[in-house]
A and B are shown apart, each in its own frame.
Chain A
Amino acid sequence: MTTSPACTWTDAERGFREEIAFVDDSLFTVTVAPLEAPRGLTLICPPLADDLVRNYRREVVLARRLARHGIASQRFHYRSTGNSLGESQHMGWSDLVDDARAALNVASEMFDGVPLACFGTRFGGLVAATVASEHAGAPAALWDPVPTLADFVRDVVRIERLVALSDRNPDAPSVAGGRTALATRRLPPPLVDERDEHSITSVVGGPLGNVFVASIVEGLDARGTKKAIDALRDLATKVESVSVAFEGSWWPVGSPMPRKEDDPWPLIDQTVEWLVDALGAAQQ
């Protein structure tokens, strides 16, 4: 594993430091740590496509708030998405999960022996559940997890059609090849091809620890989240679910997203509280 030049900074006032690097010259990783030795580590698995853009700042703030509570976190972007490099033509399910494992390795080398939790939103929820199940008893916090890859691909197609309508582009909704062609405009083609093969039930390889699921009341797919919660109840020790009012769009102008870095942010604050408790219990 090679890492290109990293940049680090410290926010002494808020009590965290960050290190940003490109692992193997391609995987964009961000390690956020408290200034003292961390009491736990959270792997933050990002979503894909438009969810990645919408959720980006929430994950940045989540990581920084966790650090203020003594928890380190590891963020990353799957190769060929976000700031990472790579060709989407070659990215299937196993490659995306490998990226999550590679990011976790970066943090594990820095914080050996601390208890692990996983976090994921939408598609990232599937990845987080997969990695959590590989570390027996690791707790997982999920925001609006998708129950199956097929459900996620269907949502991406819906969004593509809506965007095409708003662009007033009459040709876009009927791209030759139909749903698959629309989905591959935003997702790696191998992942779209595998859409019927992966669900929460199939990707979770071992028993899950405690799971926290936050569902956003006006989220994209409330029924999907309920399906995911039902599936998790059969796999996890305990599932705690909460609903939060929709907060914050990807567009900051005039949105209800908190303007100041330290303003209360209920979705994030509830998740931080749960993760701190879960990792505290794991340490004991």
Chain B
Amino acid sequence: MIVHEPLAIPMGDAHAFGILVRPEVEGPLSVLVLPGAGNFGNGGPALLGLSRRLATNGCATMRLDYLGMGESTGGITRLRANSPRVTDPHAAVEQLRQPGRTNLALVGLCYGARVAVETALETPDLAGLALLAPPLAAKGEIGASWTMRAFLRRVARPSRWRNLLQPEHRRTYAHVVRRFVTSRVRSRGTPPQARTPDTQRRPDAWFIEALEQLTARGVRVLFVAGDVDKCLADLQRPEADALRAKLTTPGSGMELAVVPGSVHTFRDQDVVDAVTDLVVEWSERIASTLP
């Protein structure tokens, strides 16, 4: 028997909403599912179906509605692939962990995959990370495309200073500044023209580095793409050579699965079923290695 438990996750004045689907007897792995950036959370209902399948296999699974979307309270904040939100996913991770669940996996669709990577970097005891049609190329990538002048021009906007009064914006700005500084430090010695390429469809160095860090920590990464998805084309670009090599090398901790159709839109039942089977089978393999 599976129980569907609606949850209000308090976050200051707001509430993020999640649906926890849990089996009667929980296995060692728990999963947080992060939808895309649509009004419902892109793929929301289909991802709830995925949660049910995972729960049937013994994984307590929560699907989150980001603040300002679905049933959560709050206004719609600007969603940027190059600066994925972290506050509500972290709150959801804490909520999921409360009754002593320690081994977690994150599953993210499209924008949710970027959120999952960002969340994974700061989540200890993470066992797995499944990325469904993740955008590899983020427009306006921080650091690679911003010059110091562009950065200061953005900082000088009066709205930025007004927004500092709100905790949510303060957290976002701190995150952006941290990423900017890190990126500048890493690119020291690189000629400026090499740091300002056309980033419109250029695989994002941050994303690739983050995946490398995570696999070095022992996190098992599953990368799922549809054969018509842009992320699959981006994976063929020279900037993604190292990532592609790891994804296709057995034992690297990363694996690539390609299914027919569009995983990004996640609306055709055939695609949803194929992806669900892949994620469930992947979670079984992870769970079998856990104590």
Task: Please report A residues at the B interface, Cβ cutoff 8 Å.
Answer: 4-9, 11, 13, 18, 20-22, 25, 30, 52-54, 56-57, 60, 81-83, 85, 163, 167-169, 172, 185-186, 250-253, 257-263
Contacts and interface: CB of A to CB of B under 8 A. Distances in A.
Contact of A252 (B5, B17, B39): B39
Contacts of A262: 75
B40 A56 contact: yes
B5 A250 contact: no
B234 interface: no
A153 to B, nearest CB: 17
B28 interface: no
Given A5-B6, A251-B37, A251-B38, 18 more contacts: A7-B8, A8-B8, A9-B15, A11-B73, A18-B71, A20-B8, A22-B4, A22-B6, A54-B39, A56-B40, A57-B70, A60-B71, A83-B19, A163-B267, A250-B38, A253-B78, A259-B78, A261-B68
19 contacts: A4-B5, A7-B6, A8-B8, A20-B17, A20-B71, A53-B40, A60-B71, A82-B44, A83-B44, A83-B45, A85-B52, A163-B265, A185-B269, A252-B79, A253-B79, A257-B76, A259-B77, A261-B74, A262-B75
7 nearest CB pairs, A to B: A260-B75, A250-B39, A20-B6, A7-B6, A9-B8, A167-B262, A56-B40
Interface residues of B, number: 37
Interface of B: 3-8, 10, 13, 15, 17, 19, 37-40, 44-45, 48, 52, 68-71, 73-79, 228, 261-262, 265, 267-269
B15 A252 contact: no
Contacts of B261: 167, 169
A56 B41 CA distance: 10
Given A4-B5, A8-B8, A259 B76 contact: yes
A252 B69 contact: yes
Contacts of A167: 228, 261-262, 265
A60 B269 CA distance: 27
B73 to A, nearest CB: 6
A169 B171 CA distance: 41
A163 B285 CA distance: 35
Contacts of B19: 83
Given A30-B71, A167-B262, A261-B73, A53 B4 contact: no
A84 B50 CA distance: 14
B50 to A, nearest CB: 13
B261 to A, nearest CB: 6
B73 A7 contact: no
Given A167-B228, A169-B228, A7 B39 contact: no
B167 to A, nearest CB: 15
Given A7-B7, A169-B228, A252 B76 contact: yes
A257 B75 CA distance: 10
Contact of A13 (B13, B52, B71, B77): B13
Nearest to A13: B13
Given A169-B262, A261-B74, A185 B8 contact: no
A30 B68 CA distance: 16
Contacts of B73: 9, 11, 261
Nearest to A22: B4
Nearest to B10: A9
